[in-house]
Amino acid sequence: MHNTTTATTMYPARKKSCSSQENQQLVKVTLARHAKPIFPGLPDWSSRRQVRGYLRKELEKGFEFRLKRLSLELDTALHKIREESNHSLVTTKAHLRRERMEFFANSYNEMLERFNVLVERFLASLDSRIDRLDKFKSKTIRNREEQRLNMAMENFLATLDQLIDEYREIISEQVGHP
């Protein structure tokens, strides 16, 4: 049987005749190769604790960095959403304000037209009542009726002014957020 080396063998090729010195040399090489530990030497406990402490600090720094980065990305996303919402609100508010102003202008004109019709009716009624004053024979009744008509006219005009002022206040009041 021949001793041939294969590609996977790590030992030197064996010669047919080996001297004792060669054999001793081969044994020393083999023992030296197997004397090396498979795993590197483990440090003592204090060194291990120190290494673990450094590793923990590195992990903490990594987590802090990631947390800061996530926080920054979150703030950026929230800021973007706020800006988009504000832009949407501004454009929508402008449209609503324009519609509101048109509505109030139209309703104010309608209200003034209705008040003008009421004033015309009241004045026509007042004219007929004033004409009727001359028909009263009693001066006391005539004076009393004239005072009552003057009071009715003042009350009507004051009420009309008050209604217009209140409507203007309604138009100009601001709606607040609770």
Percent of the chain surpassing pLDDT 90: 22
What is the per-residue pLDDT across 153-172, written as a single tens digit (0 to 9) for each?
Answer: 899 999 999 988 888 888 78
Cα–chain-centroid distance for residue 145? 68
Residue 89 structural domain: 47-172
Question: Is 92 inside any structural domain?
Answer: yes
What is the per-residue pLDDT across 73-100, written as a single tens digit (0 to 9) for each?
Answer: 999 999 999 999 999 888 888 888 888 8
Instruction: Identify the pLDDT of residue 42.
Output: 62
Question: Is 14 inside any structural domain?
Answer: no
Which of 63-67, 72-76, 131-135 shows the lowest mean pLDDT across its residues? 131-135
SS3 174: coil
Question: Is 177 inside any structural domain?
Answer: no
Question: Is 9 inside any structural domain?
Answer: no
Question: Is 83 inside any structural domain?
Answer: yes
Question: Is 16 inside any structural domain?
Answer: no
What is the per-residue pLDDT across 43-52, written as a single tens digit (0 to 9) for each?
Answer: 677 887 888 8
Residue 18 binned pLDDT confidence (cut-offs 50, 70, 90): low
CB 14 within 8 A of CB 3: yes
Tell me the C-alpha distance between 141 and 129, whole Å. 13
Q: Which amino acid, 9?
A: T
Which DSSP category does 16 fall into?
S
Size (the chain), residues: 178
Percent of the chain surpassing pLDDT 70: 82
Question: Is 152 inside any structural domain?
Answer: yes
Residue 15 binned pLDDT confidence (cut-offs 50, 70, 90): low
- How many domains in the chain? 1
Q: Which amino acid, 92?
A: T
Query: pLDDT averaged over the chain?
Result: 82
Structure token digits, residue 104? 């109030």
Question: Is 144 inside any structural domain?
Answer: yes
